[in-house]
Structure 1
Amino acid sequence: MLTQQLQGFILTRNWRDTAAGTEVEYWLATQAGPLKVLLTGQTSVAFVEARHKAVVQAQLFSMPDVTLRELGLKSFQQEPVLGVYSKKFRQLGRLARALQRQGVALLEADVRPHERYLMERFITASVTIQGGRLENSVCVDCKLLPAPDYRPHLKVVSLDIETSQHQELYSIALDGMAERVVFMLGEQPCEPVESTNFALRYYSSRKAMIESLNEWFERNDPDVIIGWNVVQFDLRVLQKTADDAQTPLLLGRERQPIAWRTHPGKQEYLFAPMPGRVVIDGIEALRAAIWSFPSFSLENVSQQLLGEGKDIGDEYDKMAEIERRYQEDKPALAVYNIRDCELVLRIFEKANLLPFAMERAHTTGLQLDHFGGSIAAFSHHYLPRMHRLGYVAPNVGEIQGKSSPGGYVMDSKPGFYDSVLVLDYKSLYPSIIRTYLVDPVGLVEGSRASEPGKPVKGPMDTLFSRDKHCLPGIVTTLWQARDEAKRNKNEPLSQALKLVMNSFAGVLGASECRFFNPRLISAITLRGHEMVKVTRDFVEKRGYQAIYGDTDSIFIWLRRSHTDEQARAVAADLVSDINAWWSQTLMQEQGLESFLEIEFDTHYKKFFMPTIRGSDIGSKKRYAGLCSDEEGKEAMVFRGLEMARSDWTPLARQFQEGLLSRVFQGTPYQQYIAEYVHSTLAGHKVDSLIYRKRLRHRLDAYVTNVPPQVRAARIADAYNVRLGRPAQYQNGGWIRYVMTQNGPEPLEARSSPIDYDHYLTKQLQPIADAILVPLGDSFTALTSPQKNLF
């Protein structure tokens, strides 16, 4: 018997069918160390409409461990349902397939036992353990209850490997715990090595390296493995190395192997689940936390976040240097190897990635390393609450149709402006869900309401129940938790709550979701359209002009220059009046409490909205502005323009920033343009001419339309093959190249003179004319004498 009450954080979860029935396994991080929890004899459940009882019973003659039970639940079609209970989860899958062939749906049969156990108890990540018995340090058949405030300290190891260009393992580095070490293939040198702050151990075979790695994991027992592309490269290479050496790779707790899985829609993408340990890739964690970088390479992210990096050249220089160090200076290779581990650890700390991942798991109910899964997170919250309202969920694909229109984007009014306010609706779609009671069950209930005036009316003739719904309550709980997190300055929790809450509307519009319904998501997005239009009319009646709007934002020209203080005063009045208008109108017209809240976002002292290139129509999602922070420090803001896009050259981005800055500040720009062109033509900006673009497909997939980056990549790979190097771009990736007089050429194989006319006419001129034409000027008029000199 477990005598003390423990709290734990779920690291991994799994289920298995045994001869005795279904077992559910959780590995927890607790204050007393890692703990394995095993729940035996778990009954799995699905549902079927009662009218199909005879069909189901006919199938159960061959499934003695499956039984039917009457329940007080119904389907979305208002049909009463029976509970289908099974001792083994896989039997439900077999039954679902058999019934499907007869046109009968087995509902919720795809909810796995370890997820069902947690969601029905409103558990996300942290738990309190009650009762149970200890058997060989395993807690068996205890009870798990929610423990929302528990966050343990997790033991983290950063793992990195170095290989040859053919991915033959040279070394393994492990950092972040007391035993910092590099395992190196090769004989230990006779000469003494300068002391380092990590252990360097040599092995005569890769088999011995893998065995030592297994022992390190058993001895140090980390909770979390982090790295950079750690699953798709490092662990993948380690597994292949172990397989080739005919020795097991046992990195899971209890010396368990990795249970490799492929992505259902992307077979080359792998998952590496292992009992008791979570693998978190730095790239995926940054993207999930909405970090954005031109490149997610470790070198680039390190330079951007930490101001330092590895700095040993391009991909092939790096490969050559790794090979040289392996052959000539293995201690130097070890330093380089563990340096990567250190950088990953510091990036995780700087970006708060582990706290973010933990708060996201606590918010979503998904495993710590599960960074996608918006649909799964929605189901985790929604299903248990829906059951308590007397409904079971439909299956995926039950409702067909096109999704809803997206967010409303107002036609822009291009030009230069003084004093533009931006007002934003706070969490627009969640606030619509809360205010208008948008909900899957609510839609079902509202559509069958006996009193026509009672339901809440929505777009597309939708009706929503005022008292039977789940989603508005879920969103309210998350909203209030986020407000509390912001008050407590818990940024990782605040960010996790915001992302999850904002994902729910998109989930309802995803055909892969069991609650997909075009009318349901349209009740949200079309309401958003209405709100932006109403807000536009409101501000224009006050004498201002709405020059642009996008989903939840509206850009308001104040018609004359205002100081920051004056503009903020106008914004405060507008915000107060708009919010009051919504509160009064919604209560009077539908008896609804308004959770719609518009906020002041930015005052642009100067603002530029360009036209669509080659026309006089205003662009969308592209603008620039000059604003000041609360301390009066000015900053340029670019959205969607070349300055903000990595697929334009640094030459173009720097030019655009410099030109707009001068126009906004009211300083002469003519000489700046002439000197910029002169410097470019004189060859002083060669490093700024580099294109960096992504190859989204295999090179052989480009047949009819062959863009410049593909042409450059083919030249690069042909060059590398001639030098005996592996082809680098055949399966996609990123390529850097310049435009020459013979077309695009990669940096590693450039042989032709630069095509400067390309950079002037394709990079600088379009940017300049978008800014200059509204001012009555042009790039050609200002640069023709310069061009003629060269």
Structure 2
Amino acid sequence: MYLTDGFIVSSHAYDTASGICYEAWFCSDKGPIKTTSVNENALFFIKSKDAEIAHEILAAESLIFNIKSLELKNFQQEDMSACYFNSLKHFYSAAKALKQRGVVLSEEDIRPIERYLMERFIKGGAWITGNVFYQNGYTLVTEAKLKANDEYSPALNKLSLDIECNESGVLFSVGLVGCNLDCVLMIGEPDRETENLEFDIIWCVDEAELLRGVEHFIKLSDPDVIIGWNIIEFDFSVIHERAEALGIKLLLGRGDQPLYVRKGHFTRVSIPGRCVVDGIDTLKNATYSFESFSLANVSNQVLGESKLIDTANSLQEIIRQFNEDKLSLAKYNRQDCILVNKIFDKLKLLDFSIIRTKLTGLELEKKGGSVAAFINMYLPMLHRSGYVAPNMGDHGLTFESPGGYVMESIPGLYKNVIVLDFKSLYPSIMQTFYIDPLGLIEGLKNPNQSVQGFNEALFSRDKHHLPLLIKSLASQRQLAKDNQDQMLSQAIKIIMNSLYGVLGSKGCRFYDPRLSSSITLRGHEIMLQTKKWIEELGYSVIYGDTDSTFIKLDDDLTHDECNEIGVFLAKKITTDWVNEIKQTHNLTSHLEIEFESLYSPFFLPTIRGKLVGSKKRYVGKLIKPNESKLVFKGLETVRSDWTKLAQQFQFELFTSLFDGNLSINDLVKDYITKLYQGDFDHLLVFKKRLGQNLIDYKKNIPPHVQAVKKHQKKNSEFTVNRGEFVTFVYTIAGVELYQDLHSYDYAIYVEKQIVPLLDMVEPIINQNVNDLKKNQFLLF
């Protein structure tokens, strides 16, 4: 028998004469490995009381099946049976037939191959045993047995792929960079100017030869991972469509297996033996935030590098280059591949994907996936506790759970403000109070052995899974921090923080408002009690938000004295919660509050046009050892729907206010003067997303839509789709799309971008903004 370890890069199931075959491809230190396990079953669950009618329905459909009662119940405490199938075709046909006849199924939406791996707790890494056959380029293991191996981490080799085509998807070129490749396949005649390039151009007669070339070079380079930018929804979708149109079956997988693309709510690309990882999806999975996830913007922000074509209408330029300047198009195509490789390397995106798979079992290329990750981790444990997963809405409850606690702020300018943050508040609440789907069901069964939640929820003190899972994740994260493994620490943080979000999402089968409200309302209780304790100690709480408490300290304190108070309060409040939870609930507290920040000074604004304090909006100078910096929350400086003029002005306004180095009069006069001189013309562009289709805007048409419709009158072919950004400016001719050169209406920018920021700080500048407006430098 063969024994080695490997890491899954692809898996799928298919029917054979001897039953379902589960096939998985692994990368390993010994090269690619393909495993097969035949004569397997697929299953879903039904209520045991429905077994007889289910048998009649399936028999009438001439399906082969086996129904077996199990020691499992649903959350309504009804006995459950499993329906087994040795054919995927029969599995899916049976599910359809039963649902049409009103039989309630459970877990029928779990893909059989995912269940196969999930129930073995395989999260990427596995031990592999079976019968070994050495093939051309890989090892085949038949009758494979897989066992979880959490320790194994792969060394994946990656290839960056990018295509260029016209608006109809007709291919011009394909760039391939990585795995010892640096080339562009281009349709056209050989050009002598390309002979001394630092990369290869492979000239192709037509699309068919181009696609065969892609197939050849992918086989030659044999990557584990193919990466790109929107590569699943665009590049591989186009490649697949063109291959189908030309009658070509692209064998891009290992073992000469074909590329497969399935479209539905999302596009799924399957290349056996390889995985396809999209840069945009991976950035979002890792919680990176960009104003735009376009390759042009991300490469500029991350690398300080630009695409070789960076115009408003890049498609038109791509078509021109293909017809007139193929060398430039090849360089552009290759540069996109290089940029993607550099972004992946600099941000360690593949490392993050591997870690996420090892923690959750999600496929490397999985888009989003918080709900899927939760199910991967939780479902096998639930089965071993005697339950099948609920269907969405089984709880039958209609009330909504509240969001996080947010206190109305006390507006004003403060000299010293410290912030105390609860460390992972919601996961800590779940761990402390045993908040868990299984715990809720078992708690309701045995009230005497439970912890009281909210909205009549009860949670078992001894039957639960999430508290232990959170404990394990927290200890792993602390170890990662101790080892300065920022990537692992961040990945675990994302997963821990997603646990509440999943339980609070109606798109998750485990959603129950008793679960989510027992978390958020406990958070409200904790924040209010923390505020009370702090105020009993003689301090003023001026704001609170979800897990953060903002405390005003005396103006005459030094920074060191403020820090000492912060450390003292954090230690005391943590201890108080240990005692309170022990006395009130006889539970061990996992709540920990930390002294997070010192701001000096700190400003909380009012709601615009009102006297009451606003929420989630503040600015302060963060004081750290050997450095200080301005931090803006929710203000114009960090909002993309304000111009860069407003953002820059607000930053300098607060720098001036906090440092006192420049009078407000002088600052405003300088900005207005430069504005009218045209010095700020590059900062005057607004950017706003189209919230609906253009034809749906009929009343109260906003400025960015006005700009589009005005442009369309002279350019009828121009359009913008829902969800896309519109860049526009105010000119003396009204609102217009931004097109580099304009005669700006500077007075509107003063009115809309400068005066509102002055209004916000009027209470703290000891000067009436109306007086500023009357000054001559505002009357250009």
Classify the TM-score, shorter chain: over 0.9
Amino acid at match of 1:410: M
Question: Equivalent residue for 1:767?
Answer: 757
Per the alignment, in what secondary structure is the counterpart of residue 276 of structure 1?
A: coil
Amino acid at match of 2:529: V
Per the alignment, in what secondary structure is the counterpart of residue 445 of structure 1?
A: helix
Q: Residues 302-321 of structure 1: CA distance to partner in whole angstroms, max 9, x if unpaired?
A: 221112222644223x4454
Question: Equivalent residue for 1:776?
Answer: 766
What TM-score do the two structures reach when normalised by structure 1?
0.94
Question: Equivalent residue for 1:154?
Answer: 156
Query: In terms of mean alpha carbon deviation, does 544-553 or 108-117 score higher?
Result: 108-117
Q: Residues 402-430 of structure 1: CA distance to partner in whole angstroms, max 9, x if unpaired?
A: 44111111111111111111111111111
Decide whether the 8 Å contact of 1:92 with 1:109 is kept in 2: no
Question: Equivalent residue for 1:46?
Answer: 44
Structure 2 counterparts to residues 391-540 of structure 1, below 5 A: 391-400=387-396, 401-449=398-446, 451=448, 454-540=449-535
Query: In terms of mean alpha carbon deviation, does 210-219 or 101-110 score higher?
Result: 101-110
Shift of 1:271: 2.9
Shift of 1:456: 0.9
Per the alignment, in what secondary structure is the counterpart of residue 32 of structure 2?
A: strand
Structure 2 counterparts to residues 680-691 of structure 1, below 5 A: 680-691=675-686
| Match status 1:655 vs 2:646 | no
| Match status 1:220 vs 2:218 | no
Question: Equivalent residue for 1:279?
Answer: 276
Amino acid at match of 1:374: S
Amino acid at match of 1:615: K
Shift of 1:133: 4.1
Decide whether the 8 Å contact of 1:715 with 1:749 is kept in 2: no
CA distance in 2, matches of 1:588, 1:359: 40
Amino acid at match of 2:405: Y
Query: In terms of mean alpha carbon deviation, does 229-238 or 684-693 score higher?
Result: 229-238
Question: Equivalent residue for 1:701?
Answer: 696
Question: Equivalent residue for 2:255?
Answer: 254
Q: Residues 24-70 of structure 1: CA distance to partner in whole angstroms, max 9, x if unpaired?
A: 12111111122221111112232233333332333343456322223
Shift of 1:324: 4.5
| Match status 1:134 vs 2:133 | yes
Amino acid at match of 1:360: R
CA distance in 1, matches of 2:203, 2:164: 14
Shift of 1:374: 1.2
Query: In terms of mean alpha carbon deviation, does 78-87 or 382-391 score higher?
Result: 78-87
| Match status 1:588 vs 2:578 | no
Question: Equivalent residue for 1:676?
Answer: 671
Q: Residues 511-569 of structure 1: CA distance to partner in whole angstroms, max 9, x if unpaired?
A: 22221111111111111111111111111111111111111111111132433321211
CA distance in 2, matches of 1:263, 1:598: 45
CA distance in 1, matches of 2:210, 2:587: 66
Structure 2 counterparts to residues 98-497 of structure 1, below 5 A: 98-134=97-133, 136=135, 137-164=139-166, 167-189=169-191, 191-193=192-194, 195-264=196-265, 269-310=266-307, 312-316=309-313, 318-319=314-315, 321-400=317-396, 401-449=398-446, 451=448, 454-497=449-492
Question: Equivalent residue for 1:754?
Answer: 744
Shift of 1:90: 4.5
Alignment RMSD, CA only? 2.1
Decide whether the 8 Å contact of 2:672 with 2:778 is kept in 1: no
Shift of 1:158: 0.8
CA distance in 1, matches of 2:584, 2:723: 56
Amino acid at match of 1:757: A
Shift of 1:750: 6.5
How many residues are aligned here? 774
Structure 2 counterparts to residues 604-619 of structure 1, below 5 A: 604-619=599-614
CA distance in 1, matches of 2:98, 2:281: 39
Residue segments in structure 1 that go unaligned for 5+ positions in a row: none
Identity %: 40
Decide whether the 8 Å contact of 1:626 with 1:634 is kept in 2: yes
Amino acid at match of 1:8: G
Give the direction of change, closer, same or farther, for the CA distance of 1:200–1:380 in structure 2 (3 Å limit).
same
Shift of 1:93: 4.0
CA distance in 2, matches of 1:696, 1:450: 49
Give the direction of change, closer, same or farther, for the CA distance of 1:131–1:184 in structure 2 (3 Å limit).
same
CA distance in 2, matches of 1:465, 1:111: 27
Per the alignment, in what secondary structure is the counterpart of residue 260 of structure 2?
A: coil
Amino acid at match of 2:162: D
CA distance in 2, matches of 1:176, 1:161: 15
Q: Residues 104-128 of structure 1: CA distance to partner in whole angstroms, max 9, x if unpaired?
A: 3222222222111112111111111
Structure 2 counterparts to residues 52-67 of structure 1, below 5 A: 52-62=50-60, 65-67=64-66
Amino acid at match of 2:52: A
| Match status 1:646 vs 2:646 | no
Decide whether the 8 Å contact of 1:674 with 1:782 is kept in 2: no
Query: In terms of mean alpha carbon deviation, does 733-742 or 320-329 score higher?
Result: 320-329
Question: Equivalent residue for 1:68?
Answer: 67
Amino acid at match of 1:727: F
CA distance in 1, matches of 2:101, 2:211: 51
Give the direction of change, closer, same or farther, for the CA distance of 1:391–1:193 in structure 2 (3 Å limit).
closer
Per the alignment, in what secondary structure is the counterpart of residue 33 of structure 1?
A: coil
Per the alignment, in what secondary structure is the counterpart of residue 497 of structure 1?
A: helix
Decide whether the 8 Å contact of 1:561 with 1:605 is kept in 2: no
CA distance in 2, matches of 1:503, 1:213: 39
Structure 2 counterparts to residues 536-575 of structure 1, below 5 A: 536-575=531-570
CA distance in 1, matches of 2:367, 2:63: 39
Shift of 1:327: 3.6
Give the direction of change, closer, same or farther, for the CA distance of 1:99–1:165 in structure 2 (3 Å limit).
closer
Shift of 1:209: 0.7
Question: Equivalent residue for 2:709?
Answer: 714
CA distance in 2, matches of 1:158, 1:718: 41
CA distance in 2, matches of 1:720, 1:285: 37
Shift of 1:251: 2.8
Decide whether the 8 Å contact of 2:282 with 2:353 is kept in 1: yes
Amino acid at match of 2:275: V
Q: Residues 231-276 of structure 1: CA distance to partner in whole angstroms, max 9, x if unpaired?
A: 2332233233334433334433334343223343xxxx53323222
Amino acid at match of 1:642: E
Query: In terms of mean alpha carbon deviation, does 303-312 or 280-289 score higher?
Result: 303-312
Query: In terms of mean alpha carbon deviation, does 590-599 or 695-704 score higher?
Result: 695-704
Q: Residues 664-695 of structure 1: CA distance to partner in whole angstroms, max 9, x if unpaired?
A: 11332220111111211222211111112222
Q: Residues 676-718 of structure 1: CA distance to partner in whole angstroms, max 9, x if unpaired?
A: 1121122221111111222233322322242211222234455
CA distance in 2, matches of 1:514, 1:684: 56
